[in-house]
Every structure is written in structure tokens, then in C-alpha cells.
């Protein structure tokens, strides 16, 4: 579309053309396939700590690509005698070399998107500067073609506007800077052969190499898929560097910012699916746009009607981008979905003295008062600064911490504050289609289940008449379907109020509901009627700390606080909590891994304080077995939590059940503490249905029910965590199952099964002195 013609190269060679096509034509698809395999290996490490060595796959994979592709491009450049391909191989060599500094992006870790954008901007800017400094020929900016570049970019951006969503303003701004630098570097590296078809192949290869290097955590797959699809459209606006840079920049902006790279994980699944659908649509639009651009370029040439073309171009670009903006606000997900910061203060309250208080309500009240007073005092300076700076934050007291809505600048400021110990991510999910309840495939529970009988719960009911009455279970999970017939009457707010009984820090719902199904199932295992629950007369209160199977340290802490001092709907946890309404025993069928922002000690003070207050904290050990050292995610690794592994109906430890010893915090402690049924467990699911689930998430609730039966039978043990733990340990059955695979070395306690198999009948019998 430019007036200047490109000088025709000399020394044409058929052999050189064949080699060019063999190496460059399949390159985008080959790189996409290669990086999908590498990404899948990384996901395996995220899905299970037993595969944690594969976490280095991304770094190693890119390093291999850097060496191999740089070497190939250097050889092709050196040996080619065809003048058409010398500048092409020069640009491809530069794109391949970028993989070396881009290795730094694979080291920044999850939930550091702003730092990643800054690094992408710096790497691409330096790379572009070097390319410009080494160029010998004049840069063809081609401003007249810019509107056509913007028009093409808008077409590719449209699906992202509909299905994607932005993070915070800082995320979007830094992502835009990174994308502009990426597009500028790409435009500088694109070489021209004088043939539109060959140029398109060259551009696709350059963009594939750059996208695979600069993208990370899954965004490289989107870049690899969509950028080459527009290669021939970019070729049609060449030699304009401005137009080529505009197309590449805006497409990169969509890929890097409209989907959070950390959320493109197989652990979530939903965002990866939406991103895949969006990518497929964009690929289709890219192919159509490329074909259209090439036809128009051949049909109109580049030498006539330049002014009219510019007018048409700007008009078309305006219409397309107006459509993008309208689609975003009408069909998309506008809003601020940025990640936050979890700030842990150095001065943590010591409430260990409350253990000596005999009266339960007095002990809980003293713990609450000491913790809130300490938080109000030590956080005063930070709160004052944030109030003046108009920075939103949430203070916490169970652990002296704050969640702050800020990015890199706020992090840098907090690092200068003497009262701050450390800052970790507190990731927030971006907008996506809401979860709908997941009903099970069965409509009846059919009496007492094998798992209930296996631990002796039904014998406790029949022989001692103990079914959990008087005990309140704190259930923090994806929610609970409060209308399910086997758990509805056990809700403490049944036929009463949801105040002090239900809290949803994710969505602000005011009555029990479950968008996933996980929480309804685990609640049923604890206290479901009709033979599915261990303690069917216990009561429950609920809190939502998981949304689409993901949480963060702040939201986990929200629910832990609610269980110590419940508050009314819309109440302030620091002032409106009522510790006399606290739960007795907590079920925690969740863990907070690095993906969710936690480091090993992220929730340690909170867990310790709950124990000191007399609340029994039961935690599922995790599903990262069978390798050793896979009890790693808080709070399962803590000594103050009672961690539970899983076994099947044949008495064998489940392969997925996480094992100790705990190495994440350097303690080397043995975990789990005990094992309970956790394979093919039948329990309640939303909409009055039932289903069989497997996981330590199902094992932990059994032990919650065990504690409820013990304390219901022997109220003198309520709040005495040490004695109750010792009772469960002393009455556990020896493990006699398979030890052929997994981490079974050593005696008792053992890092695969702890002290053995939980036996609630023996525990209650001993508690009653019979």
C-alpha cells in the first residue's frame, strides 16, 4: 500500500527457496505443538507435587529452543546465497536470540504479572534498540498504512473483548507497554523478500519465535496460535513498520492482558477452555483477514488513490474499534479484576495464655479481644497511610495481616515499611461465566455407607446413642447447598437466621448455596443423614473460600476468622464478631499452594491461634502422592493442624494421598497424622442428588465427624486439642494395607499413613471410659 517499490533481489535460487519453505512454513505449528507439550509438563507439576520436577520444563524447553533455533538460523543465514533470504534469516536469527534473555521470564513465578510485563517491556525495548542500531538500511515507517494495520488488529481483538477481561489498571497499562515494545521489535525483525507469499511465511515464523519466547505461563500458546494467523495480512501492509507494529502490538495486547496467564491452568479448566475457544475464533478471523488483505493488495496495487485509501482505512479502523469497545461493554466483562497483595506483619500476637482459661466462651472471647486489639494497634500506621492514599485494603486479626488492592508500586512502598515481614500474592479470579451447581448422578444414598461402617461410626450411634449433638462444625469450602435434604436441618440457621451462620467473601451471597458441589459433598460426609455422614446430629455453619476451585490467602483467612467469631450479614469481623458462636471443629478440604499465592508459613499464625482458642482444625493432606515430601500446601503441613490422608475400601492408602515428611518449611515433621476413607465416597451433591468423589478432601471430613462424636460423647474434652488428638492417635488401628508403592519407609508415625487408621468407635469408647 506504499508508493515506494521494493528493490528486487538478485541471485535467486530454487534450492534456497525449497529450504526456506521446508524450515519456515511449518515453524509456527511445530513451535505451537512443542510448547503445548512443554506447558502440559508444567501443568503436571502444578496438578501434583509428585511430578514437581517437571516444573522446570518451561525453562529447559525454552533454553533448548534458544540454542537449536539460533543455531539453525545462523547456519541458514551463513550458507544462503539468495539475496531474498539474507534479510529474512537475519531477522529470524534476532527473534531466535530473544529466547535467551526471555529465560528470565520463566523464573519470576506465578501471580507476578506486573513484574512480567515490566520485564517483557524491557527485553523487547532493548532488543528493538539493538536491531535499530545494527540496521544499515533506512526504516520504512509508512504512516499511510497505519489505519489498515489498526483495522486488522481490531478484527483480531474483537473476540478477546467479548470473552476476556482486564486485570487492574496497572496490569492493563503495563501490559500495553509490553505489547507495544513486542510489536515494535517484531516489526524491526521482519525481513522482506519482495514476494507477498514468502513475506507472509517469514512474518509467521518471526512472530512464532518471538511469541514463544516472550509469552509465559500459557500466554505463549495464545501468541503462538493467533499471531501467525495474521501473518499474510501483515505482509499486505508492508513495508510499513508502523502498520506491522500496530497489528502485532494490539494482538499481543489481547493475548497478554485479556486472560490472566496464571489462570490458564489445567487446575481451573474453565478459563483455559474459554481462552481456547477465543483463540480458535481469532485464528479463523486471521485467516479470513489475511486472504482478504492479500486479494485487495493484488487487486488495487500500491501506486494509486493513496489519499482515498487512507480515508477508507481510517474510517474502517474507527468502525472496527468502536465495535470492539461496544462489544466489550455490552457482551464482555468490564471491571477491575486485578490481583492483590497479602501483607504479613512482623509483630504477631501471642495468645497462648488463653489455653489456661477453662470456660470455653471466656477462652474464645479472650482470644478474639486480644487478637483484634493487637491488629488495631500494630496496623494503625499502615491503615492511616492507605486511607490518605485512597488505597483499598482489608485488615485481618486472626493473623496480623492485610490484603491490599495494589500492584508493583504499592509492593515497593510496603517493602520499605519496618512493620512488614513479607508480601505475597493474593490472586483474584477474573470474570468468567458463573459456575452452576453440579448435581450428582444418583438420587438415593441407600443406607449406611461402607466408609461409615469401616471407621465404626454406626456402632457409636447404636451402642452409645451418640450422633454429634451439641457440636458445631465450621465448613469452609465452595459453599453448601443448604436445601439438600440430608444436611438442611443440621444447618444452625435452619428456620432461623443466616446471621452468624453464613459468610460468602467471594460473591456476598446471604444464604447457603454451592456453585461447585465440592462443599456439599464434604458437608454430607461430616454430618449427612441417612447413613452418609459420621455425626448426623451435629450442626454446621458455612463460609465460601473457594470459587471455581481456587482461593487465596486472604479469602482462606476470611473464613478462618468467621469460624472463630461469626458475625451478622454485612458485619465487620473486627468489631461485630461473636466468639460465643464459634465452631467447635473446622473442616478444611483445601490447601493453599503457590499458585494461589501462599508460601509455606502464610497461614501458620492463624492456624496456631485457632488451636490456642480451643478450635480443632482438621485439614486434608492433599492429593499430590504417592511421592514423599508432598504434604506442602498450608495449612496441612502445620503441627497445629490435624492432617488426614486417604485410604480405600480395601484398606490401602490411595496413590493420590500426599505424603511427608514436611520439607517446605524445613521442619521434617511427619505428616499426615492419620488416614480415613477417601476413595469412592458417596455423599450429597447439589439439587438433592448424590455422587461418589475421591480425594483427601473426602478423608478429612471423616475426622471432623470423629471429633464431633468424641466431643458430643465427652463434653469435658471440648477445646482440649492435645488430649483429643492423643485419643484419636491412641485408638487408631494399625495400617495393614499395601506398602509396595509410595512413601512407606519408617515405623509409626509413618509419612504415608501417620499413626494409622482412624477408629471412632474405639475413640468414643475410651473417651467414655468403657
**What does DSSP assign to residue 263?**
G
Instruction: Return the C-alpha cell found at 717.
Output: 474434652
In the numeric block, the cell 507497554 is attached to: 177
- What are the catalytic residues? 477, 518, 697
Question: How many Cα atoms sit within 13 Å of 723 on the Cβ side?
Answer: 14
Identify any residues that bridge with 422 across adjacent strands, giving them in sequence order: 344
**Sign, CA torsion 539/543/544/549:** negative
List of long-range contacts for 376-381, beta carbons under 8 Å, 24+ apart: 376/574, 378/345, 378/347, 378/419, 379/345, 381/417, 381/419
Cα three-residue angle 615-619-624, rounded to 5 degrees:
170
Identify any residues that bridge with 285 across adjacent strands, giving them in sequence order: none
Other Cβ atoms closer than 10 A to 126: 14
Please state whether 495 falls in left (phi above 0), alpha (psi between -120 and 50) or beta.
left
Residues 6+ apart with CB under 8 A from 541: 472, 473, 474, 475, 491, 492, 493, 500, 501, 502, 562, 563, 566, 583
Which of 258, 299, 260, 312 minimizes the C-alpha distance to 282? 258
Give me the sheet containing 539-544, strands edge to edge.
502-503, 539-544, 472-477, 585-588, 616-620, 642-647, 674-677
**What does DSSP assign to residue 666?**
S
Q: What b/e sequence results for 505-521 when a residue is b if at least 16 CB atoms lie within 10 Å of its CB, and e otherwise?
A: bbeeeeebbbbbbbbbb
Between CA 12 and CA 14 the distance in angstroms is: 7
**Reduced to 3 states, what is the DSSP secondary structure of residue 488?**
coil
In the numeric block, the cell 480443632 is attached to: 616
Please state whether 668 falls in left (phi above 0), alpha (psi between -120 and 50) or beta.
left
Answer whether 175's CB lies under 8 Å from 257's CB.
yes
Which of 23, 133, 138 minimizes the C-alpha distance to 73? 23
Instruction: Return the C-alpha cell found at 685.
Output: 451433591
Residues 6+ apart with CB under 8 A from 82: 9, 11, 12, 13, 16, 17, 20
Amino acid at each position: 500500500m506504499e508508493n515506494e517499490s521494493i528493490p528486487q533481489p538478485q541471485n535467486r535460487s530454487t534450492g534456497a527457496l525449497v529450504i526456506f519453505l521446508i524450515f519456515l512454513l511449518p515453524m509456527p505449528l511445530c513451535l505451537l505443538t512443542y510448547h503445548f507439550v512443554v506447558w502440559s509438563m508444567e501443568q503436571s507439576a502444578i496438578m501434583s507435587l509428585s511430578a514437581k520436577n517437571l516444573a522446570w520444563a518451561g525453562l529447559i524447553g525454552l533454553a533448548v529452543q534458544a540454542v537449536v533455533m539460533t543455531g539453525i538460523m545462523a547456519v541458514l543465514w551463513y550458507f544462503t546465497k539468495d539475496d531474498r533470504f539474507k534479510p529474512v534469516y537475519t531477522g529470524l536469527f534476532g527473534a531466535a536470540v530473544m529466547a535467551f534473555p526471555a529465560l528470565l521470564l520463566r523464573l519470576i513465578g506465578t501471580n507476578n504479572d506486573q513484574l512480567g510485563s515490566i520485564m517483557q517491556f524491557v527485553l523487547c525495548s532493548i532488543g528493538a534498540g539493538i536491531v535499530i542500531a545494527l540496521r544499515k538500511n533506512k526504516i520504512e515507517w509508512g504512516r499511510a498504512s497505519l489505519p489498515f494495520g489498526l483495522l486488522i488488529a481490531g478484527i483480531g481483538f474483537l473476540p478477546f473483548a467479548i470473552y476476556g477481561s482486564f486485570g487492574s489498571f496497572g496490569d492493563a497499562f503495563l501490559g500495553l507497554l509490553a505489547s507495544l515494545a513486542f510489536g515494535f521489535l517484531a516489526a524491526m525483525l521482519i525481513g522482506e523478500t519482495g514476494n507477498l507469499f514468502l513475506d507472509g511465511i517469514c512474518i509467521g515464523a518471526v512472530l512464532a519465535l518471538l511469541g514463544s519466547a516472550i509469552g509465559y505461563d500459557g500466554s505463549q500458546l495464545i501468541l503462538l496460535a493467533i499471531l501467525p494467523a495474521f501473518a499474510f495480512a501483515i505482509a499486505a501492509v508492508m513495508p510499513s513498520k508502523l502498520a506491522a507494529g500496530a497489528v502485532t502490538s494490539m494482538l499481543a495486547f489481547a493475548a497478554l492482558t485479556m486472560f490472566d496467564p496464571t489462570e490458564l491452568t489445567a487446575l481451573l479448566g474453565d478459563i483455559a477452555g474459554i481462552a481456547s475457544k477465543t483463540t480458535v475464533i481469532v485464528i479463523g478471523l486471521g485467516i479470513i483477514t489475511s486472504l482478504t488483505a492479500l486479494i485487495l493488495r493484488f487487486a488495487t496495487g500500491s501506486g494509486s488513490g493513496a489519499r482515498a485509501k487512507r480515508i477508507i482505512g481510517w474510517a474502517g479502523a474507527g468502525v472496527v474499534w468502536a465495535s470492539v469497545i461496544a462489544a466489550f461493554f455490552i457482551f464482555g466483562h468490564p471491571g477491575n479484576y486485578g490481583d492483590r497483595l497479602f501483607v504479613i506483619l512482623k509483630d504477631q500476637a501471642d495468645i497462648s495464655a488463653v489455653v489456661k482459661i477453662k470456660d470455653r466462651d471466656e477462652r474464645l472471647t479472650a482470644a478474639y479481644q486480644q487478637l483484634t486489639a493487637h491488629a488495631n494497634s500494630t496496623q494503625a500506621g499502615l491503615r492511616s497511610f492507605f486511607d490518605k492514599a485512597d488505597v483499598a485494603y482489608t485488615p485481618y486479626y486472626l493473623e496480623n495481616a492485610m490484603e491490599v488492592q495494589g500492584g508493583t508500586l504499592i509492593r515497593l512502598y510496603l517493602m520499605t515499611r519496618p512493620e512488614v515481614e513479607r508480601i505475597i500474592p493474593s490472586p483474584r479470579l477474573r470474570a468468567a461465566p458463573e459456575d452452576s451447581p453440579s448435581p450428582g448422578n444418583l438420587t438415593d444414598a441407600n443406607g449406611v455407607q461402607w466408609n461409615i461402617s469401616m471407621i465404626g461410626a454406626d456402632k457409636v450411634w447404636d451402642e452409645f446413642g451418640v450422633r454429634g449433638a451439641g457440636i458445631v462444625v465450621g465448613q469452609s469450602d465452595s459453599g453448601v447447598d443448604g436445601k439438600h435434604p440430608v444436611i438442611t436441618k443440621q444447618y444452625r440457621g435452619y428456620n432461623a437466621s443466616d446471621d452468624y451462620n453464613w459468610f460468602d467473601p467471594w460473591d456476598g451471597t446471604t444464604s447457603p448455596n454451592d456453585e461447585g458441589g465440592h462443599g456439599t459433598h464434604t458437608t454430607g460426609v461430616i454430618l449427612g443423614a441417612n447413613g452418609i455422614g459420621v455425626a448426623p446430629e451435629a450442626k454446621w455453619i458455612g463460609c465460601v473460600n473457594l470459587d471455581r476451585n481456587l482461593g487465596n490467602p486472604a479469602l482462606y483467612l476470611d473464613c478462618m476468622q468467621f469460624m472463630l467469631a461469626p458475625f451478622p450479614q454485612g458485619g465487620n469481623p473486627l468489631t461485630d464478631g461473636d466468639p460465643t458462636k464459634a465452631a467447635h471443629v473446622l473442616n478444611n478440604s483445601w490447601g493453599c499452594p503457590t499458585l494461589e499465592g501462599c508460601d509455606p508459613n502464610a497461614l501458620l499464625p492463624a492456624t496456631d491461634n485457632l488451636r490456642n482458642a480451643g478450635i480443632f482444625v482438621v485439614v486434608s493432606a492433599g492429593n499430590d502422592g504417592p511421592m514423599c515430601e508432598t504434604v506442602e500446601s498450608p495449612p496441612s503441613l502445620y503441627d497445629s493442624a490435624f492432617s488426614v490422608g486417604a485410604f480405600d475400601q480395601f484398606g490401602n492408602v490411595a496413590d493420590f494421598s500426599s505424603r511427608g515428611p514436611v520439607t517446605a518449611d524445613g521442619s521434617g515433621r511427619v505428616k499426615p497424622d492419620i488416614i480415613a476413607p477417601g476413595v469412592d465416597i458417596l455423599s450429597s451433591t447439589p439439587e438433592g442428588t448424590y455422587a461418589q468423589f475421591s480425594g483427601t478432601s473426602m478423608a478429612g471430613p471423616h475426622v471432623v465427624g470423629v471429633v464431633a462424636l468424641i466431643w458430643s460423647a465427652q463434653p469435658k474434652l471440648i477445646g482440649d486439642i492435645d488430649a483429643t488428638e492423643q485419643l484419636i492417635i491412641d485408638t487408631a488401628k494399625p495400617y495393614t494395607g499395601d506398602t509396595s508403592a509410595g512413601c512407606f519407609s519408617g515405623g509409626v508415625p509413618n509419612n504415608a499413613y501417620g499413626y494409622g487408621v482412624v477408629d471412632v468407635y474405639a475413640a468414643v469408647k475410651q473417651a467414655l471410659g468403657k
